[in-house]
A and B are shown apart, each in its own frame.
Chain A
Amino acid sequence: MAAASLAILVIDENRIRAAIIEAGLREAGHERVTLIHDIAGIAARIAEIEPDVIVIDLENPNRDMLENMFQLSRVVKRPIAMFVDRSDASSIEAAVDAGVSAYVVDGLRKERVKPILDMAISRFRAFSRLAQELEEARSELQGRKVIDRAKGILMRSKGISEHEAYALLRKTAMNQNRKIADIAQSLVTAAGLLGEGDQP
């Protein structure tokens, strides 16, 4: 398989995401995949690896440095261009939306690289979906904890039941068009400021 002979370098400070990309590339038959998480000494690594394709996340603050390096022939033996330059508008947009970019050595045929970029785009998307779900789950858990503390404050200060305390929070949230967790957070903060900590 001709595609398997391409040397691919993945530059991503996020190790988990880099591993997901690598797994995808290997599944697609690419054997020569290198991951770099730390940009220090990158010039020497690029000279050593001589990558055909470089995949990099857009959160990396060193893209300006890399692009400059690609234009200087004394660092890289073969000129490297930004892949999306030769791509269609929808590919460019999909890559930027997903937060990934790719550079390829000059002369490499578009058809050989497009599947790599497409795979990186879909894996980047999947990763941010996963990260978002994790964040939502975390904030939901956090919200539940805050609501419990707010209920405790209301129960003690107003002498009401847990059920009544929750109903009061919910009613206030509805009246103010806010989330119950936000109302609970305000109450906990206010109680803290007033020195009425929620500790029994």
Chain B
Amino acid sequence: MTHRIAAGIMPLLDSAILVAAREKGFAEAEGLDLHLVREISWANIRDRMAVGHFDVAHMLAPMPIACNLGMTPLATPTLAPMALGLGGNAVTVSVALWQKMADAGSVGDLDPTTAGRALRATIAAVAKAGRPTLRFGVVHPHSGHNYELRYWLAASGIDPDRDVEIVILPPPLMADAIGAGRIDGYCAGEPWNTAAVAKGLGHIATVKAAIWKSSPEKVLGVAAPWAEANPGELAALLRALYRSAEWCAQPGNREELAGLLSCPHYLDCPVDWLLPALSGQIRSGAGTVQVDDFFLPQAKAATFPWKSHALWFYSQMVRWGQINATAENAAKALDTYRPDLYRSALKPLGVALPGANAKVEGALTSPTPVGSAGASLVLGPDGFFDGKVFDPDAIDAYLKSQQVRD
């Protein structure tokens, strides 16, 4: 008997694991009819999950945490039993802003340190000349994009709330907003950075994979009541998605995957826009830069829902004044990510799993083999570009160290 699962997705490259699970038969092999519905806003994903149109969804990794902390309208209990890959985002700036940054020393190698220094100098010059504050777009207040953009700015000596303005825009509209001069830059997922470069409207300044290596981006959000009522189907879905992630990670499948994603009912964009993120050959606007681990669908435990990732997102919600720091809130964030469900679902596959549910983020400076159940697994590097380390057991000290101002 085939079980039908309805999943909401957004038109982004990292819907790949869900799309391939359906199109390449991994869901079917687990006895699932995975029905994918493309949505137009994260608010719609949330609302349609709340009313039961969707059982599961492609979600921004902090979104289920925000739901469980009651930070959004129509918040309903949501689980994150699996991640949908690591990395995949970039920071794009307008051609005019890039020119100023280049004049201030940015060399176009996507390095966050030099790009951040050049942006800081540019912002100082803009302020001195009395011109309007630079405006950056992100896709959602509770998104990896918002937090990594803010992290990069703050670590570069730029106050994200005072020195720039951050606005919310849907990713497919970012490139045109830069073209129309409504924003000066943005942080978004692929292919919406490559799109701006391809249209000659933007220049990629730096990438998520350099701001924080091996960092979380999207998760499978699951409606808690559905998960409770359908444990077998959920486990089957996680297995199907794991197999799909393996397929997505094969270099030989890149072109086929790009072709699938480019279809009108998924991303509806040129195939060319999808290949840079899959190969790591990023076209920045000044040339092609090879970025290691730009988007990881499977390697380095890319689908494992690390509790330390959940806690880091919570730490940024606190840092930017979105939620109060309390033990209760921290516990809710921690409980949102469910490696226990991931482990039990994948057990029959006999695949390599991490030995722990949390790790010190930034502890690994190079690819490191780690012990696990029989099979081999490599983790890292997983460092932040400023060299700071996030120890999930010392969250209070971390929060204190991150205060931008008193």
Instruction: Tell me the A residues contacting B by CB distance below 8 Å.
Output: 40, 58-65, 67-69, 71, 81-82, 84-85, 89, 92-93, 96-97, 101
Most buried by B among A59, A63, A82: A63
Most buried by A among B43, B53, B141: B43
B47 CB contacts on chain A under 8 angstroms: 58, 84, 92, 96, 101
A-B contact pairs, 18 of them (CB 8 A): A40-B182, A58-B40, A58-B44, A58-B47, A61-B40, A61-B170, A62-B41, A62-B170, A64-B42, A64-B43, A68-B168, A84-B47, A84-B74, A92-B50, A92-B74, A96-B48, A97-B51, A101-B43
In the complex with contacts A58-B44, A64-B42, A68-B141, A93-B73 CB distance below 8 A: no
Interface string of B243-275 (1 = CB under 8 A from A): 000000000000000000000000000000000
A82 CB contacts on chain B under 8 angstroms: 73-74
Verify if B380 is at the interface (C-beta below 8 Å from A).
Answer: no
Verify if B370 is at the interface (C-beta below 8 Å from A).
Answer: no
B53 CB contacts on chain A under 8 angstroms: 96
Verify if B319 is at the interface (C-beta below 8 Å from A).
Answer: no
**Main SS class of interface, B:** loop
B160 smallest CB distance to A (angstroms): 14
B176 smallest CB distance to A (angstroms): 11
Q: Are A63 and B41 interface neighbours, CB within 8 A?
A: yes
Q: Are A61 and B48 interface neighbours, CB within 8 A?
A: no
Q: Which of B53-76 contact A (CB under 8 A)?
A: 53, 72-74
A55 to B288, CA, bound (A): 45
Q: Which residue of A lies closest to B39 (CB)?
A: A58
Q: Are B51 and A96 interface neighbours, CB within 8 A?
A: yes
Q: Are B44 and A65 interface neighbours, CB within 8 A?
A: no
Verify if B117 is at the interface (C-beta below 8 Å from A).
Answer: no
Verify if B169 is at the interface (C-beta below 8 Å from A).
Answer: yes
In the complex with contacts A58-B47, A92-B51, A64-B140 CB distance below 8 A: yes
A101 to B47, CA, bound (A): 10
Question: Of B74, B141, B172, which is within 8 A of A61 by CB?
Answer: B172
Verify if B173 is at the interface (C-beta below 8 Å from A).
Answer: yes
Q: Are A61 and B50 interface neighbours, CB within 8 A?
A: no
Q: Are B73 and A59 interface neighbours, CB within 8 A?
A: no
Verify if B139 is at the interface (C-beta below 8 Å from A).
Answer: yes
Q: Which residue of A lies closest to B140 (CB)?
A: A64
A62 CB contacts on chain B under 8 angstroms: 41, 169-170
Interface string of B108-150 (1 = CB under 8 A from A): 0000000000000000000000000000000111000000000
A112 to B173, CA, bound (A): 36
A82 to B50, CA, bound (A): 13
Q: Are B51 and A65 interface neighbours, CB within 8 A?
A: no
Interface string of B155-196 (1 = CB under 8 A from A): 000000000000111101100000000100000000000000
A68 to B168, CA, bound (A): 7
In the complex with contacts A82-B74, A85-B73, A85-B74, A64-B48 CB distance below 8 A: no
A90 smallest CB distance to B (angstroms): 10
A67 to B72, CA, bound (A): 9
In the complex with contacts A61-B172, A65-B169, A93-B51 CB distance below 8 A: yes
Q: Are B51 and A60 interface neighbours, CB within 8 A?
A: no
A58 CB contacts on chain B under 8 angstroms: 40-41, 44, 47
A65 CB contacts on chain B under 8 angstroms: 167-170
